[in-house]
Amino acid sequence: MAIEYKKSVATFSEFISVEEAEALLEWLLKNPKGKVNFAECTHIHASSLQVLMALKPTIVAEPKDADLAVWLKVALAD
Amino acid sequence: MNNLLEQFLSEGRDFLQGIGEKLMQLEDEPNSTPLMTELFRFVHTLKGNSGLFEFPEMTRVLHASEDLMDAVRNGRVGYSQDLADQLLDAMDFVGMLMDEIEATGEISKNHAVPAAEHAQVLRSLLVVSESNADSNSDLHTSSEIKSEVNSLLAELPIFELEESVAEELYLHALEGETAFWVEYKPESDCFFKGEDPLFLMRQVPDTLWRHIILNNTAPILAEMDVYSNQLVFQLLTTAPSEELDDLFRYVPDEIKRIEIPALAFVRPTGNQDDHAIDIDFIDNALALLNKNNISVLTQIINTMLELSAPELWSSSVLRWVLRLLEHEPDNKTAQHALLKSLQTLTAPDWSAPAEHVERSDSKEVEHATTSVNVRKTEEDDELLQNFYVVVNAQREILSLSHKSGFSWTAGRLKSIASTLMGCYRAVNRECNIDNVLERALAENSPTPLLTWLEESLANNEQDVEIEVETDFSEISTSSESTPNALISDHKDAHENVVHNEAKTARRVDEVSTVVPKTLKVDQDKIDRLMNLIGEMVVAKNALPYLANRAETVFGVRDLSREIKAQYAVINRVAEEMQDTIMQVRMMPVSFIFQRFPRMVRDISRKLGKEVELVLEGESTEADKNIVEALSDPLIHIVRNSLDHGLEQPDVRLAAGKNATGKLTIRATQESDRVLIEIMDDGKGIDPKIIKHKAYEKGLIDETTLERISDQDAINLIFAAGFSTVEVISDLSGRGVGMDVVRSAVEKVNGTVGIESQVGKGTRIHLSLPLSMAVTNVIIIESNKQIFGVPMDMVVETVRVPRSQIRTIKHKQTTVLRGRVVPLLSLNQLLARGVEQLPNEDDEFATLIVRVHGEHIGILVDEFRETVDIILKPMAGILGGLSSYSGAALLGDGSVLMVLNPRELI
Amino acid sequence: MPKSILIVDDSVTMLMSVKTNLEMNKFKVETADDGVKALAKLTSGFKPDLIITDINMPNMGGIELIKKIRTLPGFRFTPILTLTTESQQGKRDEGKAAGATGWLVKPVGGTDLLKIIKQVLPGA
């Protein structure tokens, strides 16, 4: 239901709502080498998506949701 | 159509006109509050009115315009040229919708998308400008938006599609499964409306390609406003249109949607650095395409593909050619353009109008066959062009393969021969090629065919010129048959006039103190009045005959005198009536001048030039027909000036001129003629280049080339056959269509002249009669018949003694005031085998006429009086006789045929 | 976890019809019959995933309600749909300007309602 932040990996699960964006930005700024795990994620609100696009963190796992995977790929490609 | 709708349309057009005018005025006074207020009121009222009807497309655009103007009026958005551009575009669109409503009573559904685009562009101007109001950068941003929309089709990011995906989409599109390109630019505060743009985009079905752009405006990431949307989404989908409408119904103004035509997917991809295709192959392929030899074409392309690396750009082009050949076999233009792209190494620009491609064809044609100036109807023009394209391709094949030792099989020779026969049949020309083919087959060589073809082409050029002459004369004798190109504008002009009149009439109610009392009269009624007075003039001319008869036949001298006195009265009244009716038909040239500010502005901006347009003498009046006839030539000339006369700002600066070019259009009245001058301070025309081009085209011979004066050389640009596409690029480019200008002007008895100084500029002047109604002709007698000759062509009448006539190179000439004047006998010109009758002193009555600036003497039997006549163009079969410009009734009821010396000689 | 929806309308018939419809589709539904009561519900700990509100209501109308909701902490981003009639084009725009996500057109049919809710409510 939300993003769980561990030491160096933020794990996204299911629906990431609009409010998550602020915390995500903060965490990524604080952990410039922080990685993201989308495996269990099914949707990311545009607010968090733009944070991801601005900071381009390393992805440790792509989402199992194929459609989201395609969108994240075009959004986070170099 | 109901009254309310009619009222709306006619009032709406006034508003559109008003909006256009105010916008132009604003360019000069961008801070004028009264202008802004007025402009807003126009847009506001128009929008309000449109809401009374079910025209959502129109209302939508107007609504966006209103919001934008409101913001401008309140100073929230700064006025800029780009803003004016967008508004003008939007108003043009609304005008187009009005035309459609007028014609069909409704607006086609096809306009929904463009309407949304217009509204969106206007709104984006509003949003962007508002959010950037402090930084004052609205001009920059809005120009970005403009160029983005303008080049949308050209810049569609589907270049990035893999070829296989593009192929799939192309095939889908051909089958009528429309693909849409959708761009979604959510408002920055959309999250605060509970929206999730990504979620919305993910719901679009059948997405084949997608793209997301982040426009992060924060200078440092820590300051990024995560709750202000900075994303722009783009995708390509084959979803049905209604489904997209449904999905985006809450955000229509944030959506840009474009239907992608099949050809837009035809985008060669791949490595362009290594250019593997040689020119011979391309020429060969083009030739095969031209003669529609698809099987061989397919074969050579397949071979080339086997020899080339598949990842090359050129290979991709070839694969696309094959696909087009298979799926769109009739789209030769596209196939041709693709093959051509192998030469240019740039993908064909499908968004450009198709004529672009065709024009490059005609260039080759004209180049290859020396100039053939074809002033015919468009279809004939096209047919003839195609004829030359195909025939020349055959010639190239015959000669090329001849050199390279290509092996000739009977089949190939036969195929070329049958292609040629087909071509010649299509343009109704004889093609006795059977014997030639037999010889070629016997020798197993293309040479006989090639020789035949070259001879035939050389002969045909003459044919073409004769055909052109005939056509040209049709145009100039019959007022009804205008050249096609002119017709549509004539119609427009006509409508505009009616519209203009309507407007004046309405304004009377509003401000009766300013506008003089005006009556709205149907033009047909005026024309009828004009015809009646014409008959009246003719009828009254019968009175002097009657008076003569009274005296000579019946011997009543008193009655004769009374008739003559009465005639004087009727004559005066009739002349005054005629004058008055002619006055009614007079209209100011401002009617055609008023379109120039917009046109000059649009074109010069497109070309990146700076041009100051000066209009003078706009209130000068002339007959409506004359003013209308002026319209096209003027547009032509102005375009030429902008295109080729005036230089780019940097070039001008380098030449020590003001960066802004000056284009002056001046109208003045000089006795019974209107003079129009179009002057620019551009680079002028170089007579040297003209001379050489004319020589190359065979318009002048070597001696003329040496002797010709600079002025005469410049005048050559009016010569038929001079203007070719090729010429434009080489010299200042005035050649294009100047012969068309001249013929259009001459058609209404006008003349055109040009003066030019290299580096200084060019002045073109047109002189036209004020009215076409009455023609002054001199009556001459020849072979016991009488004919009229328009006085404006006659320089003088002289009697030439037989002893003064010299024969030079089988041509009769005489010397008149130190000038050699060629003499022609009218009987001969009219193909009567009779010698002209000299008078008792053995002198020939000779009419000196001016034709294209040259003096020529026409020998006739006798001169008679000059009369004013109402010249009627001849109709039916007689209308095709180019040597007559028309006929008129004389006072005694007989018919006078009026000669047209221009065509006669 | 079922999504919760707050419906605000002064017409009991309308409330009942929409409520029944949504509950049949596994939504948790709360109702309020004017803007004031709706605000009271929202400030007393109920946090719906979607709010559907009528425009013309006594005490506090829909437009004012939307504006107020957007100032409440926790409701800045909540999707809101207005209930409008076919002729209320102006009100729809007004609602959007005040912060609504979209609108429903009365009478609200079952399939339309669900389709639109699915469009604006991720995970529904």
User: Is residue B546 domain-resident?
Assistant: no
User: Is residue B540 domain-resident?
Assistant: no
B123 and B242 fall within a common domain: no
- Cα–Cα nearest to B208, from B160, B271, B256: B160
pLDDT tens, residue by residue, B506-527: 443 444 344 445 677 777 888 7
Considering only alpha carbons, which residue of chain C is nearest residue B246?
C116
Q: How far is CA B406 from CA B403, B412, B439, in A?
A: 8, 11, 18
End-to-end CA distance of chain C: 10
User: Is residue B454 domain-resident?
Assistant: yes
Is A26 exposed, middle or buried, given 0-12, 13-18 or 19+ CB atoms closer than 10 A? middle
Cβ distance of B231 and A46 shorter than 8 Å: yes
User: In the sheet where A3-5 sits, what is the strand order?
Assistant: A3-5, A9-16, A35-44, A58-61
Chain C neighbors of B250, CB-CB under 8 A? 96, 101-103
- Cα–Cα nearest to B530, from B750, B891, B879, B774: B774
User: Is residue B564 domain-resident?
Assistant: no
User: Is residue A3 domain-resident?
Assistant: no
Is B230 exposed, middle or buried, given 0-12, 13-18 or 19+ CB atoms closer than 10 A? buried
Last residue of a domain, which of B734, B769, B804?
B769
Q: Tell me how far apart the alpha carbons of residues B346 and C28 are, in angstroms, rounded to a whole number.
A: 60
**Closest Cβ opposite residue C77 in set B194, B199, B203:** B194
Q: How confident is the model at residue B505 (pLDDT cuts 50, 70, 90)?
A: very low
* Residue range(s) defining the domain that contains residue B206: 157-265
Helix ranges (H only) for B404-433 are 410-426
Structure tokens at B292: 């529609």
Q: Give all chains having 3 or more CB-to-CB distances under 8 Å with chain A.
A: B, C
Q: Tell me how far apart the alpha carbons of residues B391 and B463 are, in angstroms, rounded to a whole number.
A: 16
Min Cα–Cα distance to chain B from C11, Å: 25
ipTM > 0.90 for the complex: yes
What sign results for the dihedral spanned by CA atoms B387, B388, B393, B394? positive
B406 and B451 fall within a common domain: yes
Q: Which residues of A touch B (CB under 8 A)?
A: 18, 21-22, 24-25, 29, 43-51, 53-55, 67-68, 70-71, 74-75
Cβ distance of C99 and B192 shorter than 8 Å: yes
Considering only alpha carbons, which residue of chain A is nearest residue C76?
A19
CB count within 10 Å of CB B763 equals: 18
pLDDT tens, residue by residue, B631-640: 888 888 888 8
Cβ distance of B203 and C119 shorter than 8 Å: yes
User: Is residue A2 domain-resident?
Assistant: no
Q: Which distant-in-sequence residues (6+ apart) come within 8 Å of B442 by Cβ?
A: none
B317 and B367 fall within a common domain: no
Please answer whether residues B187 and B200 qualify as being in contact, where contact means their C-beta atoms are separated by less than 8 angstroms.
Answer: no
Fold of C4-120: Rossmann fold (3.40.50)
- For B370, the enclosing helix (H) or strand (E) is none
Where is pLDDT greater, at B850 or B388? Answer: B850
Structurally, chain A folds into a number of domains equal to: 1
Structure tokens at B463: 């044919």
User: Is residue B225 domain-resident?
Assistant: yes
Please report the pLDDT score of residue B787 as a whole number. 92
Considering only alpha carbons, which residue of chain B is nearest residue C119?
B200
Helix (H, G, I), strand (E, B) or coil at C86: coil
B739 and B613 fall within a common domain: yes
User: Is residue B486 domain-resident?
Assistant: no
Considering only alpha carbons, which residue of chain C is nearest residue A45?
C122
Cβ distance of B191 and A46 shorter than 8 Å: yes
Most confident by average pLDDT, B6-10, B174-178, C118-122: C118-122
Angle at B753 between CA B759 and CA B643, to 5 degrees: 45
Please answer whether residues B665 and B593 qualify as being in contact, where contact means their C-beta atoms are separated by less than 8 angstroms.
Answer: yes
B649 and B715 fall within a common domain: yes
pLDDT tens, residue by residue, B595-620: 888 888 888 888 888 899 999 988 88
B104 and B17 fall within a common domain: yes
B616 and B763 fall within a common domain: yes
Please answer whether residues B153 and B264 qualify as being in contact, where contact means their C-beta atoms are separated by less than 8 angstroms.
Answer: yes
Is B43 exposed, middle or buried, given 0-12, 13-18 or 19+ CB atoms closer than 10 A? buried
Cβ distance of B193 and C76 shorter than 8 Å: no
B612 and B736 fall within a common domain: yes
**Closest Cβ opposite residue A29 in set B212, B222, B230:** B222
Where is pLDDT greater, at B11 or B556? Answer: B556
For the cut 60, the answer to whether the pLDDT of residue B845 exceeds it is yes
Beta strands (DSSP E) in B608-650 are 611-616, 621-623
User: Is residue A58 domain-resident?
Assistant: yes
User: Is residue B233 domain-resident?
Assistant: yes
Last residue of a domain, which of B725, B753, B769?
B769
Considering only alpha carbons, which residue of chain B is nearest residue A68?
B202
For the cut 70, the answer to whether the pLDDT of residue B723 exceeds it is no
On the CB side of B368, CA atoms within 13 Å amount to 19
Q: What is the mean pLDDT of chain B?
A: 76
Structure tokens at B164: 């296989």
Q: Which residues of C touch A (CB under 8 A)?
A: 77, 122-123
User: Is residue B509 domain-resident?
Assistant: no
Angle at B863 between CA B857 and CA B866, to 5 degrees: 105
Structurally, chain B folds into a number of domains equal to: 6
Please answer whether residues B347 and B713 qualify as being in contact, where contact means their C-beta atoms are separated by less than 8 angstroms.
Answer: no
CB count within 10 Å of CB B628 equals: 23
**Closest Cβ opposite residue A19 in set C77, C122, C123:** C77
Please report the pLDDT score of residue B303 as a whole number. 79
Q: State phi, psi for B143 to the nearest 5 degrees.
A: -70, -30
Listing DSSP states for A14-69 in one string gives EEE-TTHHHHHHHHHHH-TT-EEEEEEEEEE-HHHHHHHHHH-PEEEE--SSHHHH
User: Is residue A9 domain-resident?
Assistant: no
Most confident by average pLDDT, B161-175, B250-264, B827-841: B827-841
Chain B neighbors of A18, CB-CB under 8 A? 191, 196, 227
Residue with tokens 């009624």: B525
Q: How confident is the model at residue B490 (pLDDT cuts 50, 70, 90)?
A: very low
For the cut 90, the answer to whether the pLDDT of residue B71 exceeds it is no
Most confident by average pLDDT, B48-62, B479-493, B506-520, B852-866: B852-866
Please report the pLDDT score of residue B273 as a whole number. 66
Chain B neighbors of A21, CB-CB under 8 A? 226-227
pLDDT tens, residue by residue, B794-841: 888 899 998 888 888 778 889 888 888 999 999 888 888 888 888 888
Whether residue A69 lies within 8 A of chain C, CB to CB, comes out as no
Cβ distance of B231 and A44 shorter than 8 Å: no
Chain C neighbors of B203, CB-CB under 8 A? 119
* Residue range(s) defining the domain that contains residue A63: 16-76
Cβ distance of C70 and B192 shorter than 8 Å: yes
pLDDT tens, residue by residue, B666-702: 999 887 788 999 999 988 888 888 888 888 877 788 8
B618 and B761 fall within a common domain: yes
Q: Tell me how far apart the alpha carbons of residues B489 and B877 are, in angstroms, rounded to a whole number.
A: 27
Q: Omega before C107 cis (within 30°)?
A: yes
Q: Which of B87-96, B300-309, B555-564 is predicted least confidently? A: B300-309
pLDDT tens, residue by residue, C78-90: 999 998 876 677 8
Q: At what angle do helices B542-552 and B557-585 cross, to 10 degrees?
A: 180
Please report the pLDDT score of residue B158 as a whole number. 52
Residue type, position B766, single letter: L
User: Is residue A1 domain-resident?
Assistant: no
B719 and B608 fall within a common domain: yes
Cβ distance of B202 and A68 shorter than 8 Å: yes
Cβ distance of C101 and B195 shorter than 8 Å: yes
